[in-house]
Structure 1
């Protein structure tokens, strides 16, 4: 613990996942300790950021109300600061989106588009609703949304999502990150929260050792391996628990506040 406390002294910015980290995904519960934590960090001069698989449209009002300094969204593909200034923008090429949709249609899979300011489904049914409703509610439906909008991420949606295998034409362009039994994020091959966070650090003149991050799911893995200190929530994916420098309590039990107190940051 002494080594970890010494390492924590280098922390200048902390990134937080949203679902099951800042708030409970299925209920929307966010403890009163979260706004308090953000205010205490601000008073200590420690910057804060959101690092999420959601696009900016999906960052909830209560999360924006925390006034974080940066938003790393769509798994690192769209990054802005608190003044809405664009830091990084990496939509999927149109040809890649077309190939993804062709593959998913051939696999009898529905899909969801992440634009910069909207989330749109190819159709709305029970399988799609089970995965998406706890996060976004019911989505508008437009299977051709990609024709006139930039797409930062595509989600596959089906009751056989675990059987989907990328075709050869896509394996060097995108990768799958499963986040739900019925769904996977389909993101650029080099895209990740770590990539988006690195763009913020470059702008600030900071190094990975200056970062702390909190998360719980597989799309946090690259960020956990990126550097600095990684804190896993108690109920996290086994790979995240194995990669974490420290494991804290659950959202409901003020895990973030407890970790930051233990690490002497608040």
Structure 2
């Protein structure tokens, strides 16, 4: 613990995942302590960021009201400085790649969703899509041709056999699947991750990974836990994330973030 406390002294920016880290995904519950945490970090001069698989449309009002300094959204594919709305980084899918993914998913009898910077559309809104997506984005409109109208940063697979989907070789060289729900996986660029997005923020601020702490719980935090100077996992995190964490804290409902930052002596 002494080594972790020493590392904590170098922290200048903290990134937070949303679902089951800042708030409970299924109920939307976010403890009052989260607002206190952000206020205390501002008083200490420590910057904050949201690092999420969601796009800006999915950054719910109570998270926006925390007034973070940065959004690292869509698993690192879109990075924005909040106050200025300056886009620090964007990584979109080409139209031919989107069409290749669609062809593959249709062959696999899987529906899909398109993720733009501040909007989403699905190929089909059915019971399977509702089970996966409603807790995060509510009901979405159907538009199988949405990629022809908007830049696409990410896609989602949607099926009742999502765990059986295997990328064909020509796609496996360009994209990868990250499961986030029994019925759905994020389809992200091979080189895409929250870590890359956070790295763009650090470069803009002339900071190093050892100046960064992150909180997370899921497999889309994997690269970030390898990258950050300090990483804190929520108690209910995926086993791989628990293994990678420098520190494991309590659940959202039990003020896990506040407890961790106090234990690390970053705030009182």
TM-score (norm 1): 0.99
Q: Is the 2:162–2:183 Cα contact (8 Å) retained in structure 1? A: yes
Displacement, 1:84? 1.1
Return the alpha-carbon distance in structure 2 between the equivalents of residues 135 and 113 of structure 1.
14
**What's the counterpart of residue 207 of structure 1?**
208
Matches within 5 A, 1:115-130: 115-130=116-131
Return the alpha-carbon distance in structure 2 between the equivalents of residues 119 and 35 of structure 1.
28
**What's the counterpart of residue 217 of structure 1?**
218
Return the alpha-carbon distance in structure 1 between the equivalents of residues 77 and 57 of structure 2.
13
**What's the counterpart of residue 242 of structure 2?**
241
Displacement, 1:115? 0.4
**What's the counterpart of residue 44 of structure 1?**
44
For residues 141-193 of structure 1, the C-alpha deviation after alignment (integer angstroms, 9 at most, x for no partner) is 11110011110000000000000000111111000000111110000000000
Residue 191, structure 1, aligned to residue 181, structure 2: no
Q: Relative to structure 2, which stretch is displaced further, 168-177 or 247-256?
A: 168-177
Displacement, 1:57? 1.3
For residues 111-155 of structure 1, the C-alpha deviation after alignment (integer angstroms, 9 at most, x for no partner) is 011001101111111111000000111111111100111100000
**What's the counterpart of residue 66 of structure 2?**
66
TM superposition outliers: structure 1 runs of 4+ over 3 Å: none
TM-score (norm 2): 0.98
Q: Where does structure 2 lack aligned partners over 5 or more consecutive residues?
A: none
Q: Where does structure 1 lack aligned partners over 5 or more consecutive residues?
A: none
**What's the counterpart of residue 4 of structure 1?**
4
Partner of 2:188, secondary structure, is strand
**What's the counterpart of residue 77 of structure 1?**
77
Displacement, 1:221? 0.4
Return the alpha-carbon distance in structure 2 between the equivalents of residues 95 and 76 of structure 1.
21
Return the alpha-carbon distance in structure 1 between the equivalents of residues 15 and 101 of structure 2.
30
**What's the counterpart of residue 29 of structure 1?**
29
Return the alpha-carbon distance in structure 1 between the equivalents of residues 191 and 222 of structure 2.
13
Displacement, 1:16? 0.1
**What's the counterpart of residue 146 of structure 1?**
147
**What's the counterpart of residue 18 of structure 2?**
18
Residue 134, structure 1, aligned to residue 147, structure 2: no
Alignment size in residue pairs: 266
**What's the counterpart of residue 231 of structure 1?**
232
Return the alpha-carbon distance in structure 1 between the equivalents of residues 123 and 69 of structure 2.
33
Displacement, 1:227? 2.7
